[in-house]
């Protein structure tokens, strides 16, 4: 019988996906700290609520990983930004990028999990996708699926 | 003050790249390709997965027809709607559906690459073509409601299917929620 071994392997995959998601949420929390410092007044509340949402997801993932017997990955002391963020427009671009990244890891969590964890990851993916479009103004056909991202994106409509 | 470039701010192995775009994308692709496809048996039965997939394809085709009706009835909104419609076409295709071929669930609308000039009124589709509300605003609200309801149904359906299909359903459900946002709150 390979049932037990399969269960073990699937638990390992689950844990790995959750750890990737936690790492991305750590990065998002850090990134939104940068966003909050640069974004113009009119969008600061939105950035703040996104920051809070990512903190909540980060904490939930930390608990889930502990429940599975794992050791949650720690946040890095610092992160290299993907591009300089000197002003509000760049802050908006960074926020969109953070959400894209988060959407991707949650798509992978959906695949690796079942039941309540999968449902929760699907919800997190959906929220990230909506936040991404609020920042970028640009819809993508398959949020979180990098392998399908090559074509078909809408033309940009900056909202900053 | 802007963050210093990575080379000036090294703090040893604790410092990580937030995500250099190219490397990040490659990593995601790597993750996606490596697992999943070979484990389609991890949940549900093949026939259930096939039913969910077929249903998802039909639903997306039906949504394309709704977009076609709205585009035909409200030319002023057409440009905006075509972008979203094109994405719904891609969803239908990802679930194995086809647009523009004959068949019980397909519409007679043009393929996504063709110039969009749908005319649902002349459509010989076996099911009644959806009609669009009289005002543009109502039409957008109705589309948003349809998108959101479908996204909710897909989110519920993904509990029972194998991992790779669940991932696709979750992504398409997220896209539906994005469309609903763009059709209503995102309106200029």
- The ipTM of this complex is 0.90
Measure the CA–CA gap between B147 and A126, rounded to whole angstroms.
13
In a domain, B23, yes or no: no
Q: Quick one: which of B162, B142, B137, B176 has its CA closest to B38?
A: B162
Q: Which run of H or of E encompasses A32? A: helix A3-38
Task: Kindly determine whether residue B174 and residue A128, on different chains, have CB atoms separated by under 8 Å.
Answer: yes
What tens digit of pLDDT does each residue of A51-106 get? 999 999 999 999 999 999 999 999 999 999 999 999 999 999 999 999 999 999 99
What tens digit of pLDDT does each residue of B55-97 get? 999 999 999 999 999 999 999 999 999 999 999 999 999 999 9
Size of interface A-B (CB pairs under 8 A): 165
In a domain, B30, yes or no: no
Measured between beta carbons, the chain B residues lying within 8 angstroms of A147 are 28-29, 32-33
Select from A107, A135, A137 the residue whose CB has the most chain B CBs within 10 Å, as the one to mutate to test that interface.
A107
Structure tokens at B75: 């030319």
Residue matched to tokens 């990512």: A54
How far off is chain B from A140, nearest CA to CA, in Å? 7
What tens digit of pLDDT does each residue of B137-187 get? 999 999 999 999 999 999 999 998 999 999 999 999 999 999 999 999 865
Residues 64-103 of B with CB under 8 A from A: 83-84, 86-87, 90-91, 94
Q: In this structure, how many other beta carbons lie within 10 angstroms of the beta carbon of residue A121?
A: 30
Measure the CA–CA gap between B180 and B146, rounded to whole angstroms.
8
In a domain, B18, yes or no: no
In a domain, B136, yes or no: yes
The reply to whether CATH 1.10.10.10 applies to domain A3-144 is no
Measure the CA–CA gap between B112 and B71, rounded to whole angstroms.
14
Under DSSP, the state recorded for B76 is G
pTM listed for this prediction: 0.78
Structural domain boundaries, residue B71: 44-183
The set of residues, in sequence order, having a beta carbon less than 8 Å from that of A126 and lying 6+ positions away, is B151, B155, B170, B173, B174, B177
Alpha carbon separation from A101 to A11, B4, B66, B179 (Å, rounded): 23, 22, 31, 19
Dihedral sign computed on CA atoms, order B171, B174, B180, B185: negative
Alpha carbon separation from B128 to A75, B18, B69 (Å, rounded): 55, 51, 11
- Please say if the pLDDT value at position A154 is more than 90: no
Q: Quick one: which of A115, A120, A113, A109 has its CA closest to A144?
A: A109
Number of structural domains (chain B) is: 1
In a domain, B36, yes or no: no
Select from A118, A136, A137, A157 the residue whose CB has the most chain B CBs within 10 Å, as the one to mutate to test that interface.
A118
- Please say if the pLDDT value at position B103 is more than 70: no
């Amino acid at each position: 019988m390979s049932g037990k071994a399969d269960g073990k392997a699937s638990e390992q995959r689950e844990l790995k996906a959750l750890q990737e998601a936690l790492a991305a949420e750590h990065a998002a929390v850090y990134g939104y700290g940068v966003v909050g410092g640069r974004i113009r007044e009119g969008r600061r509340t939105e950035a703040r609520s996104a920051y809070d949402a990512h903190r909540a997801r980060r904490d939930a993932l930390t608990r889930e990983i502990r429940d599975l017997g794992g050791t949650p990955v720690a946040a890095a002391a610092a992160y290299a930004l993907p591009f300089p963020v000197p002003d509000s427009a760049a802050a908006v671009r960074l926020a969109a990028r953070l959400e894209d990244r988060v959407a991707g890891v949650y798509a992978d969590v959906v695949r690796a999990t079942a039941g309540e964890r999968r449902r929760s990851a699907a919800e997190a993916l959906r929220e990230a996708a909506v936040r991404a479009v609020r920042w970028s103004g640009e819809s993508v056909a398959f949020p979180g699926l990098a392998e399908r991202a090559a074509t078909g994106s809408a033309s940009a409509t900056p909202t900053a | 003050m802007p963050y210093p470039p990575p080379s000036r701010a090294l703090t040893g192995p604790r410092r990580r790249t937030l995500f250099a775009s190219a490397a990040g994308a490659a990593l995601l692709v790597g993750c996606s390709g490596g697992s999943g496809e070979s484990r389609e048996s991890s949940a549900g039965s093949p026939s259930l997965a096939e039913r969910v997939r077929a249903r998802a394809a039909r639903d997306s085709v039906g949504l394309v027809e709704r977009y076609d009706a709205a585009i035909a009835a409200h030319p002023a909104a057409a440009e905006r709607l075509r972008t979203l419609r094109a994405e719904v076409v891609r969803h239908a295709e990802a679930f194995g559906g086809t647009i523009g071929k004959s068949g019980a669930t397909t519409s007679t609308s043009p393929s996504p690459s063709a110039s969009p000039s749908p005319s649902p009124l002349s459509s010989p589709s076996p099911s009644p073509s959806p009609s669009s509300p009289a005002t543009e605003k109502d039409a957008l609200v109705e589309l948003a409601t349809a998108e959101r309801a479908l996204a909710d149904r897909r989110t519920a359906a993904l509990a029972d299917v194998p991992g790779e299909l669940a991932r696709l359903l979750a992504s398409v459900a997220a896209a539906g929620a994005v469309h609903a946002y763009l059709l209503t709150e995102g309106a200029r």
